[in-house]
Structures are given as structure tokens and as C-alpha cells.
Amino acid sequence: VARGDVTREHILRQAASVFNRLGYAGASVSDLETATGLRTGGIYRHFPGGKEALAVEAFRWAVDRVDERLAAAVGAPGDAMARLHALVDTWADYGASPPMPGGCPVMNAAIEHDAGGSGALRRQALDTMDRWRALVRDLVAAGQARGELSAGPSPDAVATTLLATMEGAIMLAGLYRDHAPLTHAAEQTKAYLDATLSPT
């Protein structure tokens, strides 16, 4: 753990926050300077690829923070439905204790980079979203296979809808600067899961 690595981690942490709050285009290297307390010389020493390379790594760093939360939820005790509820609650926690300020990095990247750009960030956002959807989908599929959940809705449709709802709710919570949308969405999502996936 050399001094350089500490600085590198420091830069990543601050950059992740800056990019997630201001967006890639909206964040300037000067913003990163003030956030890190470093000058361009220092930043470029650690990230020779410049703003873009730093953004890519910062994005990965941010996603890691979210994944830590998800890992805890998906490993929760109980049956499939309990774990689904735990996952929904984890997303709902974005209101009370966000793992990253500025909203969900994946959604932010998806919105900002839906057109143009080098595509690296869009690619990463897509891959992450795929992982997250797989998480829910597999959980549903396994529950259905085990008979803990009804076989009605396709796991993919459930996963997509669950993620759409919670991501949309994070967006609304950010817009309103209020947790209520997340609370409502979590509650209704759980009701939806109960209504459509409870074993008969």
C-alpha cells in the first residue's frame, strides 16, 4: 500500500462523487482539482488517460459501492420472496443512505451516454444493468423452480420491471429531494410481487 495508491484511491472516490453529481460533460477537470485538492499534474500522473479514463474507473468504483449493498441483500436468509423484498428494500435505501451521492451511477450514465461519446461508459452501464437484472431474474427463476414462487410471470419481465421501478423511483426521489417516492415504489413493488408471484 504505497502512498501513490492512497492518492489514487482518494482521486477515484472524489471523482466518482463529482461525476455522479455533475455528469461527465458537466464535470470539469477543475472540479476534480478542487474536489481532490490536487493539481492536474498529480491527477494525470495517476490517470494518464485523462478525463475519460478517470471517469471510466470512477464509474466502476461507484458501481462497486452499490454492489456491496446488493451482495448483502441477495445473501439474506429466507425464501425467494424474502430475498426479493430485501433487494427492493436495498434500493429503497437509496433515499435514506445513498451509497453514492447524485443518484444511481448506472442510470445517470445510461441517460447521459445514450447517444454519441466513446461508448465506454455506456457499455459499462449496460453490463452492470445486465448483472443486476440477472441477479433478480435468477432469484425469481430459482424460486419458481423450487416452488416458492408461482410460475406466472416470466423472471425476465419481473426483473426488468423491478429495476425500472426502483431506478425510476431513485430519479423521482432526486427530483423531489424527498424519500417518499422510494418508499411508495418499494411498498407497491412488494405488493406487486406478492400479488403476482405468491404461490397459489
Partner DNA sequence: ACGCACGGGACACCCCGTTCCT
Partner DNA sequence: AGGAACGGGGTGTCCCGTGCGT
Binding site for DNA (CB under 7 A): 1-5, 7, 27-30, 37-42, 44-46, 48, 50-52
- Nearest-approach distance from CB 20 to its own copies, in angstroms: 9
Nearest to 135 by CA among 193, 88, 178: 88
Helix, strand, coil abundance in the chain, percent, nearest 5:
75, 0, 25
- Cα torsion angle, 28, 33, 39, 43, sign: negative
Instruction: Enter the C-alpha cell of residue 39.
Output: 493539481
Q: Please choose which of DNA, its own copies, none residue 45 contacts, taking the beta carbon within 5 to 8 angstroms, the exact cut-off set by kind.
A: DNA
26 binds its own copies (CB under 8 A): yes
Which region among 32-40, 53-61, 136-144, 180-188 touches its own copies (by CB under 8 A)? 180-188
Which region among 40-48, 49-57, 68-76, 154-162 touches its own copies (by CB under 8 A)? 154-162
Q: Using CB atoms within 10 A of its CB, is residue 136 exposed (0-12), middle (13-18) or buried (19+)?
A: buried
- Nearest-approach distance from CB 64 to DNA, in angstroms: 21
The radius of gyration computed from the CA coordinates of the chain, to the nearest angstrom, equals: 19
Nearest to 140 by CA among 198, 72, 191: 198
What is the DSSP secondary structure assignment for residue 100, as one 8-state letter? S
Which residues of this protein are in contact with its own copies, per CB under 8 A? 21-23, 25-26, 102-103, 107-108, 110-112, 114-116, 122, 125-126, 129, 153, 156-158, 160-161, 163-169, 171-172, 174-176, 180-181, 184-185, 187-189, 191-192, 195-196
